[in-house]
Amino acid sequence: MYLEKLILVNFQSHKYSEFNFAPGLNVIVGESDRGKTAVIRALRWLFYNEPKGSEFIRVGEREARVTAHFSNGLIVSRERSDRKNRYVLIKPGEAPVVFEKFGQEVPPEISEVLGVQKIRLDKDWEVALNLSTQLEPPFLLFESATRKAKAIGQFQGVHLLDYAAKNVSRDIRNIDEEIRYKNTEIAALKEKLEEFADLPHLSARLNNLKTRKFIAQSVIERLNNLTALRENLEQVRQKIQENRDIVKKFGVVSVEKFWKIEALYKRYQELLKLKESYTGILQKKREALEILNHTTALPRAKEYLEEAMDTYFKLKTLQQLAEKRQKISEQKRKLLYIISILTPVEVTARKYQEILPDCKKQQELLGKYQELQKLGRHKTYYAGIIYKYRKIPELAQTLKNLEEKLKRYEQLTVLFHNLSGIHRRKKEQERELERIKQEVVSLQDQYREALLQAGRCPTCNTPLDEITVQKIIFGEVVR
């Protein structure tokens, strides 16, 4: 692909100029100040978007345009006015594509289809290899030796070594700076750790105080239990006194009389049951007599049979009743004798039922009283312990302060672990730095061997010896 036609419209002195080019060398001739240099400026404006602004628009006109036709049918147009600033790309058989708002750079699509762009040889040095200005010297002949070396080195790929060396130098500086910063942090942390040198002693003291606090809490809890038991004891004593008053009301009753009364009461209950049974038998007898009176109208045979059976049962029943009556009479006689010499059984039984729970309570209260005496001895023992640790409330604030210091100690322990990690990373970075330095030395040796093997400088073609090579290496790379 080559430039086939160039059209300039209102570009500097060209109102409308059209140039047709042939393959190979083309020469534009003419008198001075007739617009020959403007053609080069138009191409630079098209290829590189230079110069900036709108000063190149012909005087009296509002719009300038440069259009390039290429041998493959591609058309690229650059237009500028007060209202528009754009590129127009026309590919064969396709609709025009307009590019706007591209800033100071050429749109990537335009650079790609043209295949023309500046070559960056350094961070602040770009070279336009396709176009040169009117008074521009031949390529590289008047540049400094450093720039010549950089340009030729980049063409040969040596710039990668230079780039690697710069990156290594930058990494070394960054690592050194980080090491200095970490050392400063280490010194500051060591100063902070010195403030807490007494923390182990304070920690031991804190553990001792925690033990005392636990003992004191146990003593206080036991004291509260003793206080509650004392209150229960007072209540028990009051109940005992009340029961004693009740016992006094009934007088003194011996144990033997008490058990005798209880036995008589049980016998009385049995007699009452026998009396009820005897009454029931009499009732059944009356019923049997009534039945006999109503059976007189039965047949004679049945009457004999029934009379015989009735006589048999009556005889048997009468015998049983006679035996029971005799026993009842004997028991009644004994009971009347006992009742005559003792207080009525009903009253005695009621008193017994009232006294029995009080006696049981007295036995329970006696056991509690003995337990209370034992608790009183424990109370005296723990009162001595409480007196011994009476200063524990005063140590509460000290304990709180020690807990805060212990918390700070734990934080510093975390910082110390972080510091250990920093030391470890520092050593790793030092090892990495040493490896990079060795790699740089190896690359320098390879560079030196390559230069000695070539025998001549790739920039100026000067013969090289060992001393010159060393100067080149130490002049370009910081070891």
Question: SS in 3 state form for 359-392?
Answer: HHHHHHHHHHHHHHHHHHHHHHHHHHHHHHCCCC
Mean pLDDT, rounded, for 401-423: 69
When mean pLDDT is compared across 137-151, 217-231, 438-452, the lowest value belongs to 137-151
Alpha helices (H) along 196-299: 199-249, 255-294
Please check the confidence at residue 361 and state whether its pLDDT lies above 70.
no
Residue positions counted in the chain: 479
Question: What confidence category does residue 370 fall into, taking pLDDT thresholds of 50, 70 and 90?
Answer: low
Confirm if 176 and 185 have CB atoms less than 8 A apart. no
Q: Which residue has the higher pLDDT, 478 or 280?
A: 280
Q: Give the CATH fold of the 3-136 domain.
A: Rossmann fold (3.40.50)
Percent of the chain whose predicted confidence (pLDDT) is above 90:
12
Q: What is the pLDDT of residue 106?
A: 87
Token pair recorded at residue 301? 């045979």
Q: Kindly indicate the confidence band of residue 179, based on its pLDDT and cuts at 50, 70 and 90.
A: very high
**245, pLDDT greater than 60:** yes
- The region of weakest confidence among 67-76, 140-149, 226-235, 423-432 is 140-149
Domain ranges of the chain: 3-136, 144-195+391-479, 219-367
- State residue 80's pLDDT score: 92
Task: Spell out the residues 6+ positions from residue 306 whose beta carbon is closer than 8 angstroms to its own.
Answer: 292, 295, 298
Return the minimum-mean-pLDDT range out of 92-106, 173-187, 459-473: 459-473
Tell me, what DSSP letter sits at residue 137? Answer: P
Lowest mean pLDDT among 19-33, 176-190, 282-296, 371-385: 371-385
Quick count: other Cβ atoms within 10 Å of Cβ 153? 18
Of 12-16, 106-110, 251-255, 475-479, the poorest mean pLDDT is in 475-479
Evaluate if residue 355 carries a pLDDT over 90: no
Q: Does the pLDDT of residue 165 top 60, yes or no?
A: yes
At 296, the pLDDT band (50, 70, 90 cuts) reads low
- pLDDT of amino acid 88: 93
Confidence of residue 442 (pLDDT cuts 50, 70, 90): confident
**Is the pLDDT reported for residue 175 higher than 90?**
yes
CA dihedral sign of residues 106, 112, 115, 120: positive
Q: Can you tell me the mean pLDDT for 392-404?
A: 60
pLDDT tier, 195 (very low <50, low <70, confident <90, very high otherwise): confident
Q: What are phi and psi of 283, to 5 degrees?
A: -65, -40
Percent of the chain with pLDDT over 70: 63
Write the pLDDT tens digit of every residue in 246-262. 767 655 555 666 677 66
Q: Between 56 and 282, name the one with better pLDDT.
A: 56
The closest alpha carbon to 47, from 151, 119, 95, 96, belongs to 119
Q: How confident is the model at residue 131 (pLDDT cuts 50, 70, 90)?
A: confident
pLDDT at 177: 92
